[in-house]
Amino acid sequence: MRLIPDSIDLSAYGAPDPRVKVREASSYLADVRSQFRRRTETHPSMFSTKLRDVLQFRPGEVTTWAGYNGHRKSMLTGQVAIDLGVQKQRVLLASFEMLPARTISRMVQQAWATAEPSERQVDTFAAWSDGRLWMFDHMGRISPEGCCSVLRYFADELDGAHAFIDSMMMVCGSEEALDEQKQFMTDLVRLAQETGMHVHLVAHCRKPQDESKPPTKYDIRGSAAISDQAHNVVTVWANKAKKAKLDQQPNDEEALAQPDALVIVDKQRNGQFEGRVKLWVDEASMRFCDDRISAIEPYAMEVA
């Protein structure tokens, strides 16, 4: 059945004018074709780990990265940012809990796969990062409006493709401010859709009674909108029981065989995979890797 605008008494329905929004389904044909084409498109991923095969960072989406306090969420997202830079993506890091120099220093270690990079390696990373990596130099609280303004500036003026917000609690400080958190997530989703930028939001999970159980999207502190409105939800869990065993017995083969971390794709609205990925950590370089045997290689940091 077709709805003919001239046959409708529009005054009975109020504003906005329904004629602007009520359209025949066939008018969306080009958009529908585009949806099917996108299923075969490839987008940037975390190519340095097994996540390369299961999670892509699509334009116009929001990814929530969540985990318990101290479970290395920021360390992982820093490595994600390097991966994106290697893929020539333009990345903004807005870390409100760590000085830019400290964040960059850790990324230099990850990039060069060493605890003590040389001055030449530090300089090479700096040259490589130009045109790839930006820092928002601000510590402490920021308003939701201020945060969105920074992201929109990066997208509009600097042609940004990815922005990391670390963390949610520095933007919406109170866990009880559920309406503020919901509105912030709504604004982030709209911003991503309007600019085409991928927004990465770091969030915290509630303190558990048992830290040996990995969290789920339902454990995120605050409003359910943090996971409900995000396109992707990824939780990060560190195997602290393994670390405790190895502190007591460094050669415990059973403990060594266990992964150091689980990265769980708990939601992926436009992707097929949801599930757990086992990763190991090279402590010297603070790099996440696929296993404990393979050598950790430096990134190829080519300066254009």
pLDDT digit string, tens, across residues 132-187: 999 999 999 999 999 999 999 999 999 999 999 999 999 997 777 899 999 999 99
pLDDT score, position 301: 84
Nearest CA to 288 among 278, 274, 275, 300? 278
Report, as an integer, the average pLDDT of 56-68.
97
Which string of DSSP letters, residue by residue, matches 192-240?
A: HHHH-PEEEEEEEBPPPS-TTSPP-GGGBSS-THHHHS-SEEEEEEE-H
| Nearest-10 Cα torsion for 139, 141, 143, 146 | 0
One-character DSSP codes across 151-182: HHHHHHHS---EEEEE-GGGTS--TT-HHHHH
From CA 228, how far away is CA 267, in angstroms rounded?
9
Buried b (16+ CB within 10 A) or exposed e, 70-96: ebbbbbbbbbbbbbbbbbebbbbbbbb
- Inform me whether the pLDDT recorded for 18 exceeds 50: yes
Look up residue 28 and give its amino acid: Y
Q: Considering only 109-113, 132-136, 173-177, 287-291, which range has the smallest mean pLDDT?
A: 173-177
pLDDT band with cut points at 50, 70 and 90 for residue 21? confident
Sheet holding 91-95, edge to edge: 133-135, 91-95, 162-166, 198-204, 62-67, 232-238, 261-268, 275-282, 287-289
Q: How many Å apart are CA 81 and CA 109, to the nearest integer? A: 13
Residues in the chain: 304
46-289 CATH fold: Rossmann fold (3.40.50)
- Of 36-50, 101-115, 125-139, 159-173, give the lowest mean pLDDT range: 36-50
Would you list the domain boundaries of the chain?
46-289
User: What does DSSP assign to residue 25?
Assistant: G
- In the 3-class helix/strand/coil scheme, how is 213-224 assigned residue by residue? CCCCHHHECCCC
With cut-offs at 50, 70 and 90, classify the pLDDT of residue 31: confident
Which of helix, strand or coil describes residue 11? helix
Only one residue has tokens 């008018």, namely 27
Within 8 A by CB and 6+ apart from 189, the residues are: 62, 229, 230, 231
What are the two backbone dihedrals, phi and then psi, of residue 241, each rounded to the nearest 5 degrees?
-65, -40
State the CB neighbour count (10 A cutoff) for residue 116.
9
What's the CA gap between 252 and 104, in Å, rounded?
34
What's the predicted TM-score (pTM) here? 0.87
Distance between CA atoms of residues 155 and 123, nearest Å: 27
Count the neighbouring beta carbons within 10 Å of the beta carbon of residue 197.
Answer: 26
